[in-house]
């Protein structure tokens, strides 16, 4: 195989409870995460020789501002894969970017796992499941979830992944969702540092586990009752445009929207009979035409 194309989906955190800071500087979390039906596309093809700088993997991207040097997780994934398998074949990556940067939608993490998937196919070296997750965790806390094809619960710093029970997953998969983001992003490191400065904002781990267990047990509980995000505390304190719009959506349209991850992207789950046009008009009126808006489904 000389060329492969891999879909690289976005994700949203339906719930995100940050329960404290660990000794290693990472944060403990409990989060229900679902992949989305929209995302980036990563093309990978064998290259006959290394690039001029000696790299065996190179990257181009169609989105301005996305780094294509060694700081990009796609190329970091390629290095880890080569170290793990010993495969040193040349690869040219081409990333077609649709997931906005600085959104809390997991774009970079998803791209990294898409690169590992592509490299497995190009090289013929399939990683063992445990090694897949270990390499993903080494790349970033959000990366391991993208090896899973259904909604999951993330724990620890994100490396402990549990697929949702089948009945609970059925309440999520296929649900309509509107994702929207203003023309500014939120730096993840800042959001966590701001949260750490206010420990009273941390969620209680036992209470969150009890809340999730109750949702799993109640087969009639809708996805909307899951929605929560600890990081809204620091982010909404600084970027007032976010809570202002979410309040408008609730008051005008009866829609309960939340922020995903560290933001700045937000989302609203939509019932089948809800027309998204009026919601989009409210979003554009608040955030302008530069706002990113994407209708999709939970996957």
Please list the active-site residues: 11, 142
Backbone angles phi, psi at 33, to 5 degrees: -125, 140
171-297 belongs to CATH 3.30.465.10: no
Is pLDDT of 79 > 50? yes
Position 49 scores a pLDDT of 57
Span 241-286, pLDDT tens digits: 999 999 999 999 999 999 999 999 999 999 888 889 999 999 999 9
Separation of alpha carbons 227 and 172, rounded Å = 12
Q: Per-domain residue ranges for the chain?
A: 3-163, 171-297
The Cβ-side half-sphere exposure at 290, using a 13 Å CA radius, reads 5
Contacts made by residues 48-52, CB under 8 angstroms, sequence distance 24+? 48/90, 49/90, 50/90, 51/90
The structural architecture, per CATH, of the domain 3-163 is: 2-Layer Sandwich (3.30)
Is pLDDT of 55 > 70? no
Span 160-181, pLDDT tens digits: 999 999 999 999 999 999 999 9
Residue in 82, 26, 15 with CA at minimum distance from that of residue 55: 82
């Amino acid at each position: 195989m000389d060329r492969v194309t891999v879909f690289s989906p976005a994700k949203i955190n339906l719930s995100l409870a940050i329960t404290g800071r660990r000794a290693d500087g990472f944060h403990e979390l409990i989060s229900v995460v679902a992949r989305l039906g929209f995302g980036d596309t990563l093309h990978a093809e064998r290259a006959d020789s290394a690039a001029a700088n000696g790299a065996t993997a190179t990257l181009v991207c169609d989105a301005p501002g996305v780094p294509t040097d060694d700081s990009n997780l796609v190329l970091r994934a390629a290095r880890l894969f080569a170290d793990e398998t010993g495969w040193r074949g040349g690869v040219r990556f081409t990333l077609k970017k649709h997931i906005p940067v600085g959104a809390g939608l997991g774009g970079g993490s998803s791209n990294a796992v898409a690169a590992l998937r592509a490299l497995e196919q190009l090289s013929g070296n399939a990683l063992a499941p445990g090694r897949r997750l270990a390499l993903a965790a080494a790349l970033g806390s959000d990366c391991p979830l993208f090896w899973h094809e259904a909604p999951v619960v993330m724990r620890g710093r994100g490396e402990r992944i549990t697929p949702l029970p089948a009945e609970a997953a059925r309440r999520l998969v296929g649900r309509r969702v509107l994702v929207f983001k203003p023309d500014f992003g939120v730096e993840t490191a800042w959001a966590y540092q701001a949260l750490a400065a206010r420990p009273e904002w941390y969620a209680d781990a036992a209470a969150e586990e009890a809340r999730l267990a109750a949702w799993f047990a109640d087969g009639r509980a809708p996805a909307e009752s899951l929605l929560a995000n600890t990081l809204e505390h620091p982010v909404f304190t600084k970027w007032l445009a976010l809570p202002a719009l979410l309040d408008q959506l609730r008051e005008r349209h009866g829609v309960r929207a939340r922020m995903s991850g560290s933001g700045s992207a937000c989302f609203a789950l939509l019932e089948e009979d809800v027309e998204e046009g009026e919601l989009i008009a409210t979003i554009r009126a608040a955030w302008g035409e530069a706002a990113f808006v994407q209708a999709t489904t939970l996957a």
